Amino acid sequence: MTKRIVVLGGGTGGTLTANRLRRTLDRDVAITVVDQDDSHVYQPGLLFVPFGLAAPEGIVRSRPRQLHGGISYCRSTVERVDIDNDMVHLANGAALAYDVLVIATGARLLPEETDGLTGPGWRETVHTFYDYDGAMALAAALADFDGGRLVVNVVDMPIKCPVAPLEFCFLADWYFQQRGIRDRVDLTYVTPLDAAFTKPVAANTLAGLLAEKGVELVTEFNTGEVDGAGGRLVSFDDRVVDFDLAVVVPLHGGAAFVGASPGLGDEFGFVPTDQHTLQSMARPNIFVIGDAAAIPTSKAGSVTHFEGEVITRNIARFLAGQELDASFDGHTNCFIESGFHKALLIDFNYDTQPLPGHFPTGVALPLLKESRLNHLGKLMFAWLYWHSLLPGRDIPGVTTAMPHAGKHSPAAADR
Amino acid sequence: MPTVTYAGTNVAVNDEGFFTDPDQWREDMAPEIANAAGIDTLTEQHWQVLKFMRHEYAEKGTGPTVRALGRTSGVSIKQLYQLFPKGPAKLAAKIAGIPKPRGCI
């Protein structure tokens, strides 16, 4: 009897999961991927577009072409999921029955949820680089920017890629130096967190880099309103940060259909999920990968890649009536571009914060330290994304579980 | 591990003053913790939030963020900042005897 797996979302998680499943399972399992558009964007590339370091066309490819043969592709918006009857209802009126559902629909930007953000000034003096159109508009605005106060603001957590706003600050410092106008620009990073980053050892290093590059740090700022006309960010407790150009990371939420599917998601539209097996808390035959999941990891492509091995194993086990493997350790691995052809690398999981040392072992890439090797790693990664990660293959030398080898634990007093 | 005395009892706290064992917390400790943080009186609205914080911690293993509090506690974000100045999610967590909210990485 044919089993049907329906994968909602053909982005990073949906593509690598469908490809891994197709290789693992027999042909009597039908796999269908559903997405609302055909353009697969390499999201890490969006950071470089505003600075002219990446061509917009270079970061988009055809979505269905990233899927292996033997996988059906359906371009449609998902309206809702009926988790009691194992049915996906599409916006065009059609319905897809499933034996196993994989939710890989990611996180979306909700700029309208912050007062004034999409009001006067939006796409003129108030921008975001977190989507394709935004990155393009910001590229034009930056090219015209001749001096003044540039403010980078994260409205609230969670966001995709928590290091990207910091990278933007580092690259902005480099960019304006290249243009010879750095002394005419004031750079400020405004965050709701109480430090540059949440984990102590990394927070120190990153705050140090911000200071070194002359970027002012404003913490514990919860943006309540953006006044584009007046050039002001106003917090809920009435603190004000003035700007001439604001680069904002809006509030994030899960895909819209989650809210329309009773019993599936939380108040933000993310899907509560077992953090070690990736099985949803809603129904045993629903699994979740990537940014769509409400689990205590960063929302990052590396997490999605590491989840791929575990979710594939567990879907196969579920179909065979076997016990699930609770081995996902929250492994996250992120390059942090710091300008001047250098980058840092952080590697961590649920139990271990980002630590100095080397990755993946005692030699190779330095952790929590600027290096040109890391910068090359970040650039090469784009190739690996299309040719290794999306096809559902492991990356040579990089294990699913976080390696402890090569890391230096802090002295007890610093913990 | 540092300790602090509230309502005559020694409790274990981390280096930021958050309870490391939420089970050690009792309601009569809250006014003292609040005082130390500059809040003179705990009104009914304060208590509504504190009870919500402990409920969320019991259910989800972590206290809610400001945005979640604003949505589901029954108290608006603006009000939260008036009740618990500067960082409501952090301050309310401290007074409610639960760890600092994870706030995501």
In tens, the pLDDT along B74-88 reads 899 889 999 998 889
pTM, two decimals, is 0.93
Residue A392 · residue A20 · CB < 8 Å:
yes
B103: confidence class by pLDDT, cuts 50, 70, 90: low
Q: Does ipTM top 0.95?
A: no
- Residue A363 pLDDT greater than 80, yes or no: no
Residue B29 · residue B37 · CB < 8 Å:
no
| CA–CA distance, B92 with B52 (Å, rounded to integer) | 10
What's the confidence (pLDDT) of residue A235?
95
> Are A23 and A81 within one domain?
yes
- Residue A327 pLDDT greater than 80, yes or no: yes
> Are A53 and A15 within one domain?
yes
Given the structure tokens 């999409």, which residue do they identify? A118
Q: Residue A322: how many CB atoms within 10 A of its CB?
A: 11
What's the confidence (pLDDT) of residue A361?
80
> Are A244 and A260 within one domain?
no
Per cent of chain B over pLDDT 70 is 97
- The answer to whether A199 contacts B65, with C-beta atoms less than 8 Å apart, is no
CATH code of the domain containing A124? 3.50.50.60
| C-alpha distance across the termini of chain B, in Å | 25
Residue A120: asked if its preceding bond is cis (omega within 30°), the reply is: no
For an interface test with B, the pick among A156, A160, A220, A329 (most B C-beta atoms closer than 10 Å) comes out as A156
> Are A274 and A380 within one domain?
no
From chain A, the residues in CB contact with B71 under 8 A are 267
| CA–CA distance, B28 with B93 (Å, rounded to integer) | 15
What's the confidence (pLDDT) of residue A185?
98
> Are A180 and A303 within one domain?
no
Nearest to B86 among A157, A199, A237 (CB): A237
Nearest to B104 among A157, A224, A237 (CB): A157
Residue after which a domain boundary falls, among A291, A319, A347: A319
- Residue B90 belongs to a domain: yes
pLDDT, one tens digit per residue, over A333-360 is 999 999 999 999 999 999 988 989 999 8
A36: confidence class by pLDDT, cuts 50, 70, 90: very high
Listed in sequence order, the residues at least 6 apart from A376 whose beta carbon sits closer than 8 Å to its beta carbon are none
Q: Find the mean pLDDT for residues B40-63.
A: 92
Alpha carbon separation from A242 to A144, A230, A321, A349, A379 (Å, rounded): 19, 8, 59, 37, 34
Alpha carbon separation from B53 to A202, B10, B45, B72 (Å, rounded): 28, 22, 13, 11
pLDDT, one tens digit per residue, over A248-287 is 999 999 999 999 999 999 999 999 999 999 999 999 999 9
The count of domains in chain B is 1
> Are A178 and A235 within one domain?
yes
The count of domains in chain A is 3
- Residue A328 belongs to a domain: no
- Residue A324 belongs to a domain: no
Q: What element of type H or E holds B60?
A: helix B44-60
Q: Residue A29: how many CB atoms within 10 A of its CB?
A: 19
- Residue A325 belongs to a domain: no
- Residue B88 belongs to a domain: yes
> Are A82 and A36 within one domain?
yes
> Are A153 and A215 within one domain?
yes
DSSP code of A410? P
- The answer to whether B77 contacts A236, with C-beta atoms less than 8 Å apart, is yes
pLDDT, one tens digit per residue, over A80-93 is 999 999 999 999 99
- The answer to whether A157 contacts B103, with C-beta atoms less than 8 Å apart, is yes
Residue after which a domain boundary falls, among A252, A282, A303: A252
Choose, from B15, B41, B78, B104, the residue flagged as catalytic.
Answer: B104
Helices (H), A103-153: 132-144
Structure tokens at B37: 């943080």
Residues of B in CB contact (< 8 Å) with A are: 62, 65-68, 71-72, 77-78, 80-81, 85-87, 90, 102-105
The domain of B55 spans 3-95
pLDDT, one tens digit per residue, over A198-236 is 788 889 999 999 999 999 999 989 999 999 999 999 999
Residue A318 · residue A284 · CB < 8 Å:
yes
CATH code of the domain containing B53? 1.10.10.370
Q: What element of type H or E holds A376?
A: helix A372-384
- The answer to whether B105 contacts A237, with C-beta atoms less than 8 Å apart, is no
- Residue B75 belongs to a domain: yes
- The answer to whether A268 contacts B68, with C-beta atoms less than 8 Å apart, is yes
> Are A135 and A222 within one domain?
yes
- Residue B100 belongs to a domain: no
Residue after which a domain boundary falls, among A252, A279, A298: A252
What's the confidence (pLDDT) of residue A66?
98
Q: Catalytic: B104?
A: yes
Alpha carbon separation from B104 to A160, A198, B62 (Å, rounded): 11, 8, 10
pLDDT, one tens digit per residue, over A91-100 is 999 999 999 9
- Residue A393 pLDDT greater than 50, yes or no: yes
Per cent of chain A over pLDDT 90 is 86
The domain of A348 spans 333-414
| CA–CA distance, A344 with A380 (Å, rounded to integer) | 14
- Residue A370 belongs to a domain: yes
Bigger pLDDT: B7 vs A85? A85
- Residue B82 belongs to a domain: yes
